[in-house]
Amino acid sequence: MTDTDTDTETTDSSAVDTGDAELRHFLEVDDLSREELLAVLDRAAAYKGAQARGDDHEDLEGQTLGMIFQKPSTRTRVSFETGMTHLGGHAIFLGADDIQLGRGEPLKDTSRTLSRYVDAVMGRVFKHDNIEVLAQYASVPIVNGLTDDAHPCQTLADLQTIREHEDGFDDVSAAWIGDGNNVAQSFAIGAALTGIDLTIATPEGYGIDDAVLERARSLGGEPTVTTDPIDAVADADVVYTDVWISMGQEDERDVRMDDFEGFQVNDGLLAHAPDASVMHCLPAHRGEEITDDVVEGDRSIVFDQAENRLHAQKALLSWLLE
C-alpha cells in the first residue's frame, strides 16, 4: 500500500517549542507504549459496542480535525470523517490542491497555521519526513494517516480485528506474505508490542527495513524472516497480505510480477494453514497478491479490518484529545 513521491521537507532544530508537555503525536505505532496501545484498543471496542447499541458517544463535541491529503484514499478519509461526526466533532478535508500547500507553502507554515484553527491534524502524505515536519511545528496532535514508511492507523485496526477473532493476543501467530511495505513495517511493530508471533515472508530484496526489525526486537518481538511463504504460514492463526504494486511503482510491474511469483495468498497456500483467518488492508488487486475466492471466502476477515479503521481511529483521537 506504499505510495512513492519525491516531495520531502526535512526537519530542523529551529522549531518552536510549544511548552505543552502533554502534547502527543501518533506517527508510529510505538509512539504508544504497550499499556497505552491496549488502552486505545479497549476504547475502540467500547466505541464499537456503543455504536452497535445506538448509544451516544460524542466525546469530542465541538472539536475539529484537519485532514491533509497529499494522496487519495477511500478508507482513511471516510473513516476519519465519519468518526469525528460520531464523536460529535467535525472534520475538514484538505487536499493538497485545495490549500496553499499545493502552491508551494512549506509544510511547517501549514502546520503552524492549522494549529491555530483545529484541535488535531491527520496527514496522509508522501515521505515520512513530511509527517515529522508537521509534528515538529504543530501545537496540536498530529496523526499519521499513511506515509511511505508507516501506516500505524491501519495497524490499530489490524490489532483490534485480531483481538476480536482470536479472543486476545496470547499464543497468536501471524504470517505476513508479500511486499515488506509500510503496512508490513507498522504491523511488525504492533505485533511486537502485543506479543504476536510474526513470520515475514517476502521475496529476496523486498523485505522490511532492518531498522524496523531492530525496533520490533527492542520491544520484545522476535519476528522471523524468510523467503518461503509455505513455511511462513505453517501453523499461522492469521495470514496477512497487501498489494505487490503500489501507486508510483507501475513502471516496476513486470519485474515485480515475476519476483512475487509463488507469494499469492490462494487456496493452495492456505492449505498449509488450515485454521488461519485471512487479512488484507485493501484495496486488493484480486488475482495478484490474493485471489477473489479467498477475499470472498469464509476465512476472510478483510471487511472486519476495514470497519475497525473507524472504531480504532475514534479511540485514538479521543485518547489524544481527552
Q: Pairing relation of β-strands 238-241 and 142-146?
A: unpaired
Determine which one of 242, 256, 280, 305 is catalytic.
242
Determine which one of 59, 281, 311, 313 is catalytic.
281
| Counts for the chain of helices (H) and strands (E), in that order | 12, 9
For this structure, is 309 an active site residue?
A: yes
For this structure, is 286 an active site residue?
A: no
160 carries a ligand binding annotation? no
For this structure, is 285 an active site residue?
A: no
Helices (H), 122-228: 128-137, 152-166, 182-194, 210-218
286 carries a ligand binding annotation? no
- Alpha-carbon gap, residue 109 to 119, rounded angstroms: 16
Q: Give CA 116 to chain center in angstroms.
A: 27
Determine which one of 25, 43, 86, 309 is catalytic.
309
What are the CA-CA distances from residue 137 to residues 12, 68, 111, 116 (Å)? 10, 15, 6, 12
Determine which one of 25, 124, 128, 280 is catalytic.
124
Q: In what order do the strands lie in the sheet with 142-146?
A: 90-95, 64-69, 120-124, 142-146
224 carries a ligand binding annotation? no
281 carries a ligand binding annotation? yes
309 carries a ligand binding annotation? yes
DSSP per residue over 21-61, as a string? TT---BSSGGGS-HHHHHHHHHHHHHHHHHHHHT----TTT
**Cβ-contact 184, 176 below 8 angstroms:** yes
Determine which one of 63, 154, 185, 264 is catalytic.
154
53 carries a ligand binding annotation? no
246 carries a ligand binding annotation? yes
Q: Count the Cβ atoms, other than its own, within 10 Å of residue 312.
A: 29
- Alpha-carbon gap, residue 96 to 137, rounded angstroms: 18
For this structure, is 154 an active site residue?
A: yes
70 carries a ligand binding annotation? no
153 carries a ligand binding annotation? yes
For this structure, is 43 an active site residue?
A: no
**Cβ-contact 224, 188 below 8 angstroms:** no
270 carries a ligand binding annotation? no
For this structure, is 151 an active site residue?
A: yes
272 carries a ligand binding annotation? no
73 carries a ligand binding annotation? yes
115 carries a ligand binding annotation? no
Which residue numbers belong to the known binding site for L-ornithine? Answer: 182, 242, 246-247
Which residue numbers belong to the known binding site for carbamoyl phosphate? Answer: 73-76, 100, 124, 151-154, 281-282, 309
Q: Which residues are catalytic?
A: 124, 151, 154, 242, 281, 309
Which residue numbers belong to the known binding site? Answer: 73-76, 100, 124, 151-154, 182, 242, 246-247, 281-282, 309
